[in-house]
């Protein structure tokens, strides 16, 4: 097999790889007790808001009454709060696709670090073969959460459980999340999952004794009816590790040294320099989400 064919992927080709693994919105929301049509319509219009094709005021006018009716006291009405611009770090991840060998170490280390249950992986590596034998190219596309500067997931969240932190991370307040799953459908990268409460306890004794310290919060034993079961989950750039001065688990364990992490506000940081490379691009940049994950091709 020739892994070095002359065929070269373009940014839009990588975007199409993501499109193929997105969840079926209708099927996803049919599992939720909340209005499926409302969630699908909100997700579509949220992307219009992010892309500058619809005013935020018009978005709220269209959906305010329906959200009040559907979610009652859970609904946090009004425009979402603006993220304050601080003087601290703005975390960014850069992934060099020429270095990624598709080993899935990022996926495994992420699951181990964040103790994600069956069916939930914050870091996945999409794979495809391109070309005709014998001129075939193996393509790998790692996909954590994009930590968008303009996240559609936050736009559709009726409880404001999803919000943007000053450091650039899109966070979830699991105590506010009601599991409507509208954010899962709105995310154009397929980076969110619902925690159904499944467990590795039968295969791994003691798995339920401790849950993930997501966003720096220790929640103790994992059991039915206790957060984060019944809520949406996603990559947080291993925020609990950042608080200890460590890198995300996927960055630390990458066998090919394909991942870089740092403060893009620091002009001398390696991520700032790599982001300025002519090889740099963002997934689905045309949507206007402004991802904080940058790829090098």
The CATH number covering residue 38 comes to: 3.30.70.20
Judging by beta carbons within 10 Å of its beta carbon (0-12, 13-18, 19+), is residue 38 exposed, middle or buried? buried
Q: What is the mean pLDDT of residues 250-269?
A: 97
In this prediction, residue 220 carries a pLDDT of 92
Residue 180 CA to residue 122 CA, distance in Å, equals 19
Instruction: Report residue 273's pLDDT band, with 50, 70 and 90 as the boundaries.
Output: very high
Identify whether the C-beta of residue 79 lies closer than 8 Å to the C-beta of residue 67: no
**Model pLDDT for residues 162-217, shown as the tens digit of each residue:** 999 999 999 999 999 999 999 999 999 999 999 999 999 999 899 999 888 888 88
| pLDDT of the residue at 129 | 87
User: What is the SS3 assignment for 25?
Assistant: helix
Do the Cβ atoms of 241 and 65 come closer than 8 Å? no
The pLDDT of residue 88: 85
Count of CB atoms situated within 10 Å of the CB of 49: 20
293-296 and 91-96 as β-strands: parallel, antiparallel, unpaired? parallel
Q: Is the pLDDT of residue 121 over 90?
A: yes
The pLDDT value given to residue 212: 83
Instruction: Please state, in angstroms and rounded to a whole number, the distance separating the CA atoms of residues 36 and 28.
Output: 9
Is 14 a member of any domain? no
**How many domains does one find in the chain?**
1
Q: What DSSP element (H or E) covers 106?
A: helix 105-114
Percent of the chain with pLDDT over 70: 94
- Rounded CA-CA distance 45/59 in Å is 7
Nearest alpha carbon to residue 248 among 106, 126, 81, 58: 106
Residue 12 lies in a domain: no
Determine, yes or no, domain membership for 9: no
Task: Please give the pLDDT value at position 82.
Answer: 55
Q: Is 6 within the bounds of a domain? A: no
Taking CA 55 as the corner, what is the angle to CA 52 and CA 57, rounded to the nearest 5 degrees? 155
Q: Would you say residue 261 lies in a domain?
A: yes
In a domain, 1, yes or no: no
Could you report the per-residue pLDDT of 49-78, keeping only the tens digit for each? 999 999 999 999 999 999 999 999 999 876
CB under 8 Å to 123, separation ≥6 — which residues? 106, 107, 110, 142, 143, 144, 235, 250
Between 107 and 215, residue with greater pLDDT: 107
Whether residue 142 is contained in a domain is answered as: yes
Range of the domain at 204: 25-296
Report whether pLDDT(119) > 50.
yes
How do the residues of the chain divide into helix, strand and coil, expressed in percent and rounded to 5?
Answer: 30, 15, 55
Query: What mean pLDDT, rounded, does the chain reach?
Result: 93
Alpha carbon distance 47, 54 (integer Å): 9
Q: What is the pLDDT of residue 7?
A: 66
Strand partners, 293: 93
pLDDT of 162: 97
Q: What pLDDT sits at residue 134?
A: 81
Which pair of structure tokens corresponds to residue 41? 């319509």
Is the pLDDT reported for residue 4 higher than 60?
no
Paired residues of 139 in beta bridges: 128
Cα(157)–Cα(179) distance, rounded to whole angstroms?
Answer: 10
Residue 185 in domain: yes
């Amino acid at each position: 097999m020739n892994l070095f064919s002359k065929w070269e992927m373009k940014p839009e080709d990588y975007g199409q790889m993501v499109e193929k693994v997105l969840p079926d919105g209708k099927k996803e929301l049919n599992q939720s007790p909340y209005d499926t049509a409302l969630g699908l319509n909100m997700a579509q219009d949220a992307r219009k808001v992010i892309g500058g094709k619809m005013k935020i005021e018009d978005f709220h006018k269209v959906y305010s009454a329906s959200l009040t009716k559907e979610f009652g006291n859970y609904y946090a009405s009004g425009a979402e709060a603006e993220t304050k611009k601080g003087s601290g770090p703005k975390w960014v991840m850069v992934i060099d696709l020429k270095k990624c060998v598709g080993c899935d170490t990022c996926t495994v280390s992420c699951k181990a670090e964040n103790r994600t249950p069956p069916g939930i992986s914050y870091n996945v590596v999409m794979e495809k073969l391109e070309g005709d034998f014998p001129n075939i190219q193996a393509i790998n596309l790692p996909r954590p959460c994009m930590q968008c500067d303009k996240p559609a997931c936050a736009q559709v969240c009726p409880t404001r459980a999803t919000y943007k932190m000053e450091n650039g991370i899109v966070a979830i307040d699991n105590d506010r999340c009601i599991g409507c799953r509208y954010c899962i459908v709105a995310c154009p990268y397929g980076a969110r999952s619902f925690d159904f409460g499944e467990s590795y306890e039968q295969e791994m004794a003691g798995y339920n004794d401790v849950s993930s310290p997501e966003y720096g919060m220790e929640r103790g034993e994992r059991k039915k009816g206790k957060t984060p079961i019944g809520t949406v989950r996603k990559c947080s750039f291993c925020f609990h590790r950042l608080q200890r001065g460590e890198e995300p688990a996927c960055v630390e364990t990458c066998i090919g040294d394909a991942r870089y992490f740092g403060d893009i506000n620091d002009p001398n940081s390696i991520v700032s320099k790599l982001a300025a490379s002519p090889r740099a691009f963002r997934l689905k940049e045309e949507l206007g989400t402004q991802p904080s994950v940058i790829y090098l091709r």
